[in-house]
Amino acid sequence: MYQAPFKNILFIYLCFLVSLKCVAQETQLSTIAGNGWANNSVNTVIFRKNSLVSFKNIQYSAYYDNEQYVVLASRKAGSKKWEVQRTAYKGDAGDAHKSISIMVDGDGFLHLAWGQHNNNLNYARSVAAGSLMMGDKQPMVSAKENKVSYPEFYKLANGDLLFFYRDGGSGNGNLMINRYSLKTKKWTRVQDGMIDGEGQRNAYWQVAVDQAGTIHLSWVWRESPDVASNHDLAYAKSTDGGLTWLKSTNEKYTLPITASNAEYALRIPQKSELINQTSMFADAQGKVFIAAYWREADETIPQYHLVFKTENTWKVSALHFRKTPFSLSGGGTKKIPISRPQIIVWSKGKNYAAGLLFRDAERGNKASIALNNTLGTDKWTIKDLTDTSVGDWEPTYDTELWKSKGILSLFLQNVTQVDGEGKAAQAPTAIQVLDWKPNNK
């Protein structure tokens, strides 16, 4: 009479073991080093493009160590063993704006920019394809390279690189775009102030390059150094490497783009807790997805949102899982209870599935992902990718590995950010990489 219950218990136990095994197989964690600078969020700010990048079967990473040196690392695909190389370059890691960005060009050379916040360009290229040894620091095009902020690399479909940065300060800076040619091995200026704040505002942007090579650009306007003056979400795209720019309707922009002629994916008023410099994704068909957070007019709690255009109109999906209000105001790098979001999207038959990566104090500051298997519905489920806190971390990932293999490779570090560009007294922490692949991809 006790056999049936025993069989049920055994069945449940076996199912539990299988579920544990599936969770373990879903993620893989590797440690690059244990001495990462952790006194602020400079290693983990969301505008690192990139913190991780793959080329062929090699993945590269970069970070500041506890002595503020720029450190490079590489591993073979699937390996947990990293080769680590400290460079001769140091950055002022005490300023969380001065992050490191890397990208590999189509010939396999590693490009590096670091330590930028309204100062002279810090840029170098590896001495050989596949090497972690960097050459001397050098200019790109020389002009307008003495007030550089937010350096970001992007790879085009032919292997050339784009370099986006801000020339000037918060509230009056301009977007600059350079292009690196594999053929000439030289940089040229593509755009100089294509988005014009007219001396009254500046754009804080995010970029995605789809697999066809189309550049997708979105931004919020900021009227002053106060983050509370962020407003609206605008959009533009380029199909010719950044020379000409179009609206989502394919109407050609007359440059420069200003507040009056920009296409707006969504109007969002000032003082809405709208965050700047978030993320966007574009798929192989050029469909656009922009992640951000703000507080809607009739609410008190900022929520994550996904703004996207897969058909003829812009749509908004709100993730209403947050319970805690907070306010954005002031300057410098803020200590905020949630991270800025990253967005990844993949096709699922005729529909789209999406993953929004974030960190929230409500969930113990773990690295988390909100999943929606049928985008356009409100059916978001949340999964924690780490068991412990990552402090004031923000998500950055290997964009090229996601495009080529559908593997999410996240840069992880537990860091502490003091409000208003402060510096904590935190011991060095581990630099890690977490690999995860959606079950339904």
In this predicted structure, the answer to whether residue 21 has a pLDDT above a threshold of 50 is no
In this predicted structure, the answer to whether residue 125 has a pLDDT above a threshold of 90 is yes
Predicted confidence at residue 169, as pLDDT, reads 77
Rounded distance between C-alpha atoms, residue 315 and residue 317, angstroms = 7
- What's the rounded mean pLDDT across residues 392-420? 94
Pairing of strands 408-412, 101-104: unpaired
Task: Report residue 421's pLDDT band, with 50, 70 and 90 as the boundaries.
Answer: low
Tens-digit pLDDT profile for residues 73-92: 999 998 999 999 999 999 99
Tens-digit pLDDT profile for residues 307-355: 999 989 999 999 999 999 999 876 666 678 999 999 999 998 889 999 9
Residue 407 · residue 396 · CB < 8 Å: no
In this predicted structure, the answer to whether residue 23 has a pLDDT above a threshold of 50 is no
Rounded distance between C-alpha atoms, residue 270 and residue 299, angstroms = 15
Could you tell me the domains of the chain?
27-436 (2.120.10.10)
In this predicted structure, the answer to whether residue 149 has a pLDDT above a threshold of 90 is yes
Task: Report residue 12's pLDDT band, with 50, 70 and 90 as the boundaries.
Answer: very low
Which position has the higher pLDDT, 425 or 411?
411
How far, in Å, are 5, 6, 26, 62, 117 from residue 12 at the CA level? 10, 10, 21, 44, 56
Tens-digit pLDDT profile for residues 235-258: 999 999 999 999 999 999 999 999
The radius of gyration of the chain's CA atoms, rounded to the nearest angstrom, is: 22
